[in-house]
A and B are shown apart, each in its own frame.
Chain A
Amino acid sequence: DIQMTQSPSSLSASVGDRVTITCRASQNINSALVWYQQTSGIAPKPLIYAASTLQSGVPSRFSGSGSGTDFTLTISSLQPEDFTTYYCQQYKSYPVTFGQGTRLEIK
């Protein structure tokens, strides 16, 4: 199985900050990576797929980059609604696997 490791597990930041979350795959997944945002108690929402393609309707302050084994999610200017949890997921091979999540908290 492909292991997905996110870092950090939690992050404190302020409104307006630029933040980056990283995700590392245990083997090459090309660009088969998606980033999800999940607000507590609500279903996950895709932000970025194919490592760098913005999902329709998602604000442009979200961006993704990377290929192979190392990926990043960047939020250019944090808004109050962005303080929630983020997951990466690889869909290169089965079983599909998620990172453990990154909780973004208000400083």
Chain B
Amino acid sequence: EVQLVESGGVLVQPGGSVRLSCAASGFTFSDHYMDWVRQAPGKGLEWVARIRKRSNSYSTEYAASVKGRFTISRDDSKSSLYLQMNSLQTGDTAVYYCARVAIMFHCDFWGQGTLVTVSS
């Protein structure tokens, strides 16, 4: 059974940093691109970042709203995905989901999400 479990959500002050983790199991993690997607309270879904697999040099893509502040990374030996979030703003308050990217490039499995609240 595919499982994605996020952790690291916290209350942080504006300008602070947070590192989210996503532990994957039930599939060959190294075979898949992975995404982070967020959802602000009461709002819609916003794609945040993607990391490709080793054969694609672990290359990355970011939404303009987070580029230069957030860094997506992975550790295939630990089947784990990460999101380093720096210079956090109140607008970054959201539930952050990690998601597995299927061969057709949509997200076919999602974690349960972890809440990051940016507030003073």
Q: Give the size range of A's interface with the partner.
A: 20 to 34
**A95 touching B47, Cβ below 8 Å:** yes
**B44 touching A55, Cβ below 8 Å:** no
What residues of B have a CB within 8 angstroms of the CB of A38 in the complex? 45
Task: Identify the closest chain B residue to A55 (Cβ).
Answer: B108
Q: Is the interface of B mostly helix, strand, loop or mixed?
A: strand
Interface size of B in residues (CB-CB distance below 8 Å): 22
**B45 touching A89, Cβ below 8 Å:** yes
| Interface bits B39-52 vs A (CB < 8 Å: 1, else 0) | 00000111100100
Q: Is the interface of A mostly helix, strand, loop or mixed?
A: loop
What residues of B have a CB within 8 angstroms of the CB of A87 in the complex? 44-45
**A32 touching B63, Cβ below 8 Å:** no
Within 8 A of B (CB), among A43-101: 43-46, 49-50, 53, 55, 87, 89, 91, 94-101
Q: A44-B107, A46-B107, A98-B45 are in contact. List 18 more A-B contacts (CB 8 A).
A: A1-B64, A36-B45, A38-B45, A43-B110, A43-B111, A44-B110, A45-B110, A49-B106, A55-B108, A87-B45, A89-B45, A91-B106, A94-B61, A95-B61, A95-B62, A96-B50, A100-B44, A101-B44
Partner-A contacts on B (CB < 8 A): 35, 37, 44-47, 50, 61-64, 97, 102, 104-108, 110-113
